[in-house]
A = this chain, B = another copy of it.
């Protein structure tokens, strides 16, 4: 069969990772087979190994690409001079955008990380914990400056991150509601509540 060229600026490895993200999301990491992945790429299974080292390497690439994007965005926000509420709103909106723009990858990072092998598993969890702690610190700062209610900051972070993650169920209703309305509504709900 003819060699298949990937898009201009992307390597074939990138194409494989992209297809892997979609497949891992739909079938789950363990249920997804390298033969299925090969078919999606348009190649026989062993040919994949000319470009990648192993199946778990694919999972690592996906998880850490996403983790790094979130981490570096948080760093950018921290170095801003805005108020804490603005910072928090910024983070919420970024999560929503990531969920909509890089759906497969974010989904896999959220759901399949447990199948990472050591030491990647520990690295990933440490990076997550660090992210959450820095988010908590932001909320604590907002409480100190009286911008926020005297809530438990851990519960708030938990609530926000989980709510935003729920956008993975969004696809169903995509037709009825634009992403901008969605973003605004969710930000309002999480910041100001739903009671009049």
Contacts and interface: CB of A to CB of B under 8 A. Distances in A.
A166 interface: yes
A22 interface: no
Contacts of A177: 152, 154-155
**Copies of the chain in the assembly:** 2
A190 to B, nearest CB: 7
A195 B147 contact: yes
Nearest to A128: B169
A177 B164 CA distance: 23
A162 B166 contact: yes
Which of A30, A147, A170 has the most C-beta atoms of chain B within 10 angstroms of its own C-beta?
A30
Nearest to A129: B172
Interface string A149-179: 1011011101111111111011001001100
Given A30-B28, A190-B194, A191-B194, A170 B158 contact: yes
A182 interface: yes
Which of A156, A169, A170 has the most C-beta atoms of chain B within 10 angstroms of its own C-beta?
A169
A85 B195 contact: yes
Given A111-B111, A158-B167, A163-B166, 20 more contacts: A27-B114, A28-B28, A28-B114, A31-B115, A147-B196, A149-B196, A154-B176, A154-B177, A158-B166, A158-B169, A159-B190, A160-B163, A162-B162, A162-B163, A162-B165, A162-B167, A163-B163, A165-B166, A191-B195, A193-B193
